Amino acid sequence: MRTSKRSGFTLVELLVVIAIIGTLVGLLLPAVQAAREAARRSQCSNNLKQQGLAFQNCHDTMRAFPNGGAGTSWWATPYSAETWGHSQWVRLLPFMEEAGAYSRLKWCAKGGTVLSSGWDGNAAVWQDLRIKMLICPSSSLKNNGPWNNFSSNYFGIAGAAPMQFGPQPTGSFQSTAGMAFNDDGAWGITSGRGMVPNYGNGTSNVSADAVGPQILGVNMSTCSDGTSKTLLIGEMSALVSGGPGTEGQDRRPGRNWGWHMGGLSGWRDWGPHTNNVTLRYAPNAKVLGQPGVRDWGAWADASPANSPLTSPHPGGVMTMRVDGSVQFMNDGIDLQTMTLLAVRDDGQPVSDE
């Protein structure tokens, strides 16, 4: 009788197969990662498009965009000029398929009960409300604030640091706390010449009987540079670095307060930002600790106004313009071009980067 003898793989053959598989994985992994990032970037772009629709629908209904939140909430008697309002995202809730949450908000008139819509007065509304279009899927930033549910990855453009109050600003404007508005001291340089400033017009307070839903921002007629040539929203979804060897930090305005917090009433355009930003540095610039990108003294929980737009998307950040178009802003954009894009009325419109 003849018997057959089966032979298995030799050790050498097995090692060769393993090496081939490893090489293929090494070649395919970058492609897979790139495909995943492309999908995440597409979702980020879609988030901005949905936000753009919300802004446009709000403007169609209210004849104005929402502002960054200063002046949108009153405090208890006696009236205090320095109270936190609600952000533009709160006013946009009915246009972001969150009309139910918006209907639950409690507003108070001047001299009313302590119901600041900026934060704890409506905590029951914020605590379980997560809005997917405010979160970039590529972001790894954490939410570490004691009062927020989550912080947005998208921020309104309040203006640009070199263009604060007009073409040639003069003098020093003082806040009710005695701090110079344009002295670069506490929160950096702030502006009200963008499309999402703290106050709507930047020159006068709201009427005595106005309440949160009635207090809006600027309208498209103020965007004299053109809606396709002016920024509305920019992305902040990555850490800010200080250069080689330094650990990056989360420098989003209002990172400790959440997507619902607005600006500080009484300080108008020049008060600290929370869900808007005054552009000063190029996207993803390594400026940690520089003026306007650092916390200040006892105000360590109040984020500065000039943190750069940041993103894990390679090469730049996602932005949206007033007309709703989504644009990718490169890290190497000329600072003057970025400034002109951020200001609505500089008289020098630019069409691209």
What is the pLDDT, as a whole number, of residue 328?
Answer: 95
Rounded-to-integer distance, Cα 283 and Cα 300, Å: 23
Alpha-helical (H) ranges within the chain are 11-62, 88-91, 99-103, 123-126, 335-342
Q: What is the pLDDT of residue 65?
A: 93
Residue with the two structure tokens 């809006």: 216
Residue 258 pLDDT:
85
Distance separating alpha carbons of residues 297 and 168, to the nearest angstrom: 30
How far apart are the C-alpha atoms of 177 and 302, rounded to whole Å?
Answer: 15
- The Cβ-side half-sphere exposure at 41, using a 13 Å CA radius, reads 18
Would you state the pLDDT for residue 319?
Answer: 97
Specify the pLDDT at position 178.
34
What pLDDT, on a 0 to 100 scale, did the predictor assign at position 175? 33
User: Which amino acid would we find at residue 169?
Assistant: P
Strand 326-330 relative to strand 316-321: parallel, antiparallel, unpaired?
antiparallel
Q: Which residues of the chain have pLDDT under 50?
A: 74-81, 111-118, 167-183, 202-206, 298-299
Q: What is residue 80's DSSP assignment?
A: -
pTM of the model: 0.82
**What is the rounded CA–CA span in Å between residue 118 and residue 259?**
10
Task: Note the pLDDT of residue 279.
Answer: 94
| The pLDDT of residue 79 | 43
Size of the chain, expressed as the number of residues it contains:
353
**What pLDDT does residue 180 have?**
37
pLDDT of residue 40: 86
| Residue 302: predicted pLDDT | 58
